A and B are shown apart, each in its own frame.
Chain A
Amino acid sequence: MTETSIQLEGITLHFPKQRNIFAIVADFFKKKERKFTALSGIDLEIKQGEVVGIIGRNGSGKSTLLRVISGIYPADEGEVHAAGDISLLAGLGTGFSAHQTGRENALLYGSILGHGEEEMLTKLDEIIDFSELGTFIDEPLRTYSAGMKARLGLAVASAIRPNILLIDEVLGVGDPNFKEKSKKKILSMVKGASTVVIVSHSFGLMTDICDRVILLHHGEVMHDGPPQESIKKYYEIAGE
């Protein structure tokens, strides 16, 4: 299986730096732009079936890169191509409403993640089962503990079977028992998806599951190779 799944060609992304409207207008007339370059000239090809890890120090552009792939930020230069549906797993439980029941929140979160009504209704039992919430599922979310919310979020998010799965630091929620279960679930999602890009700081996991790890530094690809090699490079730059 050597078909391309994700292809980035010369991706450059700037963030505007000047937030004051007068300054923006002034800069517009002076024909200069103040900006911060988050990603510069990223070329990357990920084949179908690959599990790719992304590491780098804080602010190196890891999350931004995932957001560009999923379409949240449009690239200023370059093109992103992808094959199949993409799902970004980040910040479990986005948009949860404290005043609605767990069941309603499952439907709400599912629809935010892009699922249709029928799909969600057929998966609802499985989701409730996995969340281990029992009778709490019909209680308002404000009565939940942080761990319970995370469980519900993971249960909904893991009900998806996308072609491309992007994971941004969502491992390790809940009590040890559930942590183990959630890790297993995510690993099974990784196996189920044809292509996976994962951002994480748990290098142990990365070495276990990734075919290849990319090291980002100041928005550029610094190293692209086997996990051990990239992690070694990471420690070299982290110690500088």
Chain B
Amino acid sequence: MMQENEGASLVLRQIGVKSNSLLAPFHTLTEIRKNRFLVRNLVRREVRARYRNAALGYAWTVLEPALLASVYWFLFIMLSGNPDKMYAVWVLIGVIVWGCFSKSLNAATNSLTGNVRTMHLVYFPRSIFPVSGVGSNMVVTMMSCLVIIPIIYIYDLPITFHLLLVPLGVFMAGFMALGFGMMMAPLNCIQRDVQHLIRFITRAGFFVSPVMWTAEMAMERGAWGEAALWNPMVLPITMVRHGLEGKFVELPPAVILSSIISALVIYLVGTIVFSKYERGAVKYL
């Protein structure tokens, strides 16, 4: 039989060898880089599906937070007479950044169970599923962040390089969701209770995290308020708020450091757990 690559002798290699799980944090990155075309296409598929058949399409990513902002403004500033003119904006940013985290976390947790068909028919690194789930939510959130342009104009905020903290904060929220979600995804294959539990956690976390309150408000409340700052989600949300205000993150350095460390630890543990159990868990699907 004719063979095109006659000269290149093909070497037998073992299929389905497990790479060292402890190296998973690095392998995940190289897998994303190698499969970037696939990740981009999967993210586009998710984003497209979300805004299908809508006349305004992607405009909704900005329109939704803008409408929400006007409701908050009416509620907090007009009705309850909050003296802080910016409070409605801070709540809006809290909702956007927290939304990125919670949607990404749910997407990553369900990423294996929701792609059973694909997984049964083709093989590619399974970490691509949670990564593209989180990626699509990050893209949508980044687009939502365009709402800060009219906000800057209305509140006459300074345009400084601190605005770079806005995408950075969104990225950090998504990054933490990725690690946490990768921990949960294999477990969710075995028992779907996990996804219900995660949905509950993201709803409860809404109140524990500075969505309806700010780090400044917490710091005025003494010991309990300061304890609340140790929540790793305080940093990404506050980062976006302070970046918008045109200043660097004004949180105790210990809080900043511990948030960054917890984000990294969550990623390390998440990727290791995922690579260790993903193979076995797929058999439950």
Q: Say yes or no: A16-B283 contact (C-beta < 8 A), given A94-B122, A100-B48, A113-B122.
A: yes
CB-contact partner of A81 in B12, B37, B191, under 8 A: B12
Size of the A side of the interface (Cβ < 8 Å), in residues, is 55
Q: Mark B182-216, 1 if CB is under 8 A from A, else 0.
A: 00000000110100000000000000000000000
CB-contact partner of B16 in A68, A95, A107, under 8 A: A68
* Chain A CB within 8 A of B123 CB: yes
Which chain A residues lie closer than 8 Å to B18 at the CB level? 74
Could you tell me the distance between the alpha carbons of A68 and B15 in the complex, rounded to whole angstroms?
A: 8
Q: What would 21 A/B residue contacts be, using CB atoms closer than 8 Å?
A: A19-B284, A20-B191, A49-B3, A70-B15, A73-B282, A74-B16, A79-B14, A81-B15, A83-B10, A83-B13, A88-B122, A91-B121, A95-B45, A95-B117, A97-B48, A99-B52, A107-B41, A111-B37, A116-B37, A120-B37, A191-B1
* Chain B CB within 8 A of A7 CB: yes
Could you tell me the distance between the alpha carbons of A3 and B3 in the complex, rounded to whole angstroms?
A: 13
Closest Cβ neighbor of B51 among chain A residues? A99
CB-contact partner of A88 in B4, B49, B117, B121, under 8 A: B121
Which chain A residues lie closer than 8 Å to B20 at the CB level? none
Q: Say yes or no: A67-B41 contact (C-beta < 8 A), given A21-B193, A83-B12, A97-B49.
A: no
Q: Mark A6-42, 1 if CB is under 8 A from B, else 0.
A: 0100000011100111001000000000000000000
Which chain A residues lie closer than 8 Å to B282 at the CB level? 72-73
Closest Cβ neighbor of B283 among chain A residues? A15
Could you tell me the distance between the alpha carbons of A95 and B121 in the complex, rounded to whole angstroms?
A: 10
Could you tell me the distance between the alpha carbons of A111 and B11 in the complex, rounded to whole angstroms?
A: 25
Q: Separation in Å of the A229 CB from the closest CB of chain B?
A: 22
Q: Interface residue tally of chain B, by bracket?
A: 35 or more
The reply to whether B121 and A90 form a contact with Cβ atoms under 8 Å apart is yes
Which chain A residues lie closer than 8 Å to B269 at the CB level? none
Q: Mark A209-239, 1 if CB is under 8 A from B, else 0.
A: 0000000000000000000000000000000
Q: Mark A175-208, 1 if CB is under 8 A from B, else 0.
A: 0000000000000000110100000000000000
Q: Say yes or no: A1-B1 contact (C-beta < 8 A), given A73-B283, A88-B122, A99-B48.
A: yes
The reply to whether A5 and B10 form a contact with Cβ atoms under 8 Å apart is yes
Closest 5 CB pairs of A and B: A83-B10, A111-B38, A80-B15, A99-B52, A117-B37
Could you tell me the distance between the alpha carbons of A114 and B49 in the complex, rounded to whole angstroms?
A: 22
Q: Mark B27-49, 1 if CB is under 8 A from A, else 0.
A: 00000000101100110110011
The reply to whether B190 and A163 form a contact with Cβ atoms under 8 Å apart is no
Q: Separation in Å of the B10 CB from the closest CB of chain A?
A: 4
Which chain B residues lie closer than 8 Å to A72 at the CB level? 119-123, 282
Q: Mark A71-90, 1 if CB is under 8 A from B, else 0.
A: 11111000111111010101
Binding site for B on A (CB under 8 A): 1, 3-5, 7, 14-16, 19-21, 24, 48-49, 67-75, 79-84, 86, 88, 90-91, 94-95, 97-100, 104, 107-108, 111-117, 120, 161, 163, 191-192, 194
Q: Mark B95-134, 1 if CB is under 8 A from A, else 0.
A: 0000000000000000000000111111110000000000
The reply to whether A82 and B49 form a contact with Cβ atoms under 8 Å apart is no
* Chain A CB within 8 A of B80 CB: no
Q: Say yes or no: A194-B3 contact (C-beta < 8 A), given A72-B120, A114-B122.
A: yes
The reply to whether A163 and B122 form a contact with Cβ atoms under 8 Å apart is no
Could you tell me the distance between the alpha carbons of A14 and B123 in the complex, rounded to whole angstroms?
A: 19
Interface residues of B in 2-26 (CB under 8 A from A): 2-5, 9-16, 18
The reply to whether A7 and B122 form a contact with Cβ atoms under 8 Å apart is no
* Chain A CB within 8 A of B279 CB: yes
Q: Separation in Å of the B214 CB from the closest CB of chain A?
A: 39
